[in-house]
Structure 1
Amino acid sequence: MIKSCVTIALVPEIKTGPWIFWENLETGIAKAADLGFDALELFTPAASAIEPEILTGLLQKYNLALAAVGTGAGKVIHGLTLTDPNQEIRKQAITFISDMISFGAQFGAPAIIGSMQGNVVPGVEREQAFEWLAEGLTKLGKHAQSEGVSLIYEPLNRYETNLINTLGDGAAFVQALSTSNVKLLADLFHMNIEEVSLPDSIRAHGASIGHVHFADSNRRPVGLGHTAMADIATALREITYNGYVSAEAFPWPNPDEAARQTIKAFKQYFNNQ
């Protein structure tokens, strides 16, 4: 069964990003529950930013699940990536993500690696950057497995990384790792830029997809752009996807309206599954 999810970000440094709710944690969770979402995707400054007991209590109080945790703060706040030429920085990136994995695993939620993958920077051979990325994902994938969760790797569009931009390239890369515990994030916004056909790409690489970001072509909530969502929803059902579609979208025109539009779109495309 495909489940609904909304993003809550608690990192001031990324407040201009595509996250629906920005209020304090309980306010965001309460609004998500009131609208009928199944879960939340959480972005925090670090694994230690929220006491697990507090989050457990809030999730139980509002009958919501934790779908995933983001790691982007590691890059935004600390400048850490898995492909930095500095070995010490790469080690710190792995430690930061490992801590996030352990935090999310307490709730059965995987960690997502997006911006922390980094880039091929000037002076570094492309093959070397990919070796560093593979090394990091392998270590982190095995750590996630030991914690009982998968690890989610996100291909980003060409304007955000020069590493992996499509589901096909991402699938080939993670399948070559010495761990089978790394899955892909199919982000509809990034795919709209990079894929020839979003539904066809989903069908071709469905076995590798572990999470979906639910946003329209302009990164506003689904229904406010030109993405052909009906065909994508059909493709997700055809691959028997049973995870979350999570609203990583701009809070346009405001968080409350964006959340309402998202759950309206979710019900339109997935409530007849």
Structure 2
Amino acid sequence: MTARLPWPLAYTVTGDDCATPMPLGYEAPLTEAVGHLGELGYDGVEVQVRDTGAHAAEALARTVEAAGLKVLGIGTGPVAAQDRLTLTDPSPDVRRHALFRLLGAARLAGELGVPVTLGQTRGTFLPGLEDLQRIWAGRAVEHLAEEASARGSRLLLEPQSRVSTSLWHTPAQALAVIDLLGTPAGLVLDTHHLDAEGIDVTQAVAQHARVTGCLQLAAPATRGPLALGDPRLPSLLQALHAGGFTGWLTLEHTQDGDSPKAAARSWTALTDAAAVLARPDSPLSPMSTTSPF
């Protein structure tokens, strides 16, 4: 038994500007990826971009919408993953180039009317430079948030594990940065990174649901596709609902060498979890007196 989720469900895809497919997204050209995801029943995609801007918005939207999907967010992982550009690099030219790329992504997101996310591109510390790198990152994030807001987008900051970055590993740390910004911003929560930092995922989701724009999902331990019957999934969906979540869900995980199969597995696991919560005694049930919307 499956049920429709009360939030849009997206899958990670790689933009045509990227050198290679992102390892945590659908391993196919964009047109092929969105075509299959639309057939599976996904609502949209989170597009990872490397070097593009507002000029690409119309073509991107046309490609995605032709498959019956929507662009729900713009990710910036390839800026660091593929070109090694970060906001904390000791080279001023590299930092400027990284910010230039991120600002382009923000303008693209603004044209599409969706948020732009920031994760590993903030970089890692070098011995003796930590204080300066914090300043560089803080100033750049402020600039990025302002650009996103001015363009009709919104920055979503992702707490990531210390394996990926030296900055802002927990939701509390990311929120402390957001509180200093003069423009609206929010969180991306990723179950893999929360697990890696020893943070209770369900508790974090419940606590921060209202300020979270996107929840990224992967199987515990393996960071692979979701498993049917995973007991954590109904609890996560319940925590999102109870916390007043109004964002979208994204599958961001390894593909196990077979993206069509991985996407189908994760879709089935999530919709099955939603069915568990759709029982008459559940708040997500249409028979419940509490609306999930």
The two structures share one fold, judged by TM-score above 0.5: yes
Deviates more, 1:205-214 or 1:235-244: 205-214
TM-score, normalised with respect to structure 1: 0.90
Shift of 1:224: 7.0
Match of 2:199 in 1: 196
| 2:52 aligned to which of 33, 36, 47 | 47
Q: Is the 8 A contact 2:234 2:274 kept in 1?
A: no
Structure having the higher Rg: 2
* RMSD value, Cα: 2.2
| Residue 33 in structure 1 maps to residue 38 in structure 2 | yes
Is the Cα contact below 8 Å between 1:171 and 1:205 reproduced in 2?
Answer: no
CA distance in 1, matches of 2:264, 2:54: 28
The equivalent of 1:18 in structure 2 is 24
C-alpha separation between the residues in 1 aligned to 2:100 and 2:228?
A: 38
Q: In the alignment, residue 23 of structure 1 is paired with which amino acid?
A: A
**Distance in 2 separating the partners of 1:194 and 1:254:** 28
| Cα deviation, residue 227, structure 1 | 7.2
Give distance in 2, aligned partners of 1:184 and 1:225.
27
- Looking at structure 2, the residues matched to 128 and 203 of structure 1 have their Cα atoms a distance apart, in angstroms, of 34
Question: What letter matches 1:89 in structure 2?
Answer: V
1:84-121 deviation per Cα after TM superposition (whole angstroms, max 9, x unaligned)? 22223222211110001111222112221111010111
2:66 aligns to what SS in structure 1?
Answer: helix
1:229 is aligned to 233
Q: Hey, what's the Cα distance between the residues in 2 that align with 1:195 and 1:224?
A: 24
1:122 and 1:13, CA in 2 relative to 1: closer, same or farther beyond 3 A?
farther
Secondary structure at the counterpart of residue 45 of structure 2: strand
Question: Any idea what SS the aligned residue of 2:128 has?
Answer: coil
- Point out the more displaced range, 201-210 or 2-11: 201-210
Q: Distance in 2 between matches of 1:149 and 1:43?
A: 16
Q: CA deviation at 1:22?
A: 2.0
Give the Å deviation of 1:251.
0.9
* CA distances 1:112-163 after superposition (whole Å, capped 9, x unpaired): 11110101112203x3322222111111101100111111111111211222
Residue 73 of structure 2 is matched in structure 1 by 68
CA distance 1:124–1:174, shift in 2 (3 Å): same
CA distance in 2 between counterparts of 1:113 and 1:180 reads: 15
Relative to the length of structure 2, the TM-score reads 0.84
CA–CA separation in structure 1 for the residues paired with 2:56 and 2:146: 25
Moved more, 138-147 or 247-256: 247-256
How many residues align? The count is 269
- Kindly provide the amino acid, as one letter, of the partner of residue 137 in structure 2: L
User: How much does 1:54 deviate?
Assistant: 2.5
Partner-residue secondary structure (3-state), 1:205: helix
**Which residue does 2:142 correspond to in 1?**
138
Moved more, 78-87 or 142-151: 78-87
CA distance in 2, matches of 1:78, 1:137: 19
The SS at the match of 1:106 is helix
Residues 86 and 98 in structure 2, CA contact (< 8 A), matched pair in contact too: yes
Partner SS state of residue 156, structure 2? strand
SS at match of 2:174: helix
**How many angstroms does 1:4 deviate by?**
0.4
Secondary structure of the corresponding residue to residue 131 of structure 1:
helix
User: Equivalent residue for 1:79?
Assistant: 84
- Structure 2: any 5+ residue segments left out of the alignment? 1-5, 279-283, 285-293
Of 259, 265, 275, the residue aligned with 1:261 is 265
Q: Which ranges of structure 1 fall in alignment gaps of 5 or more residues? A: none
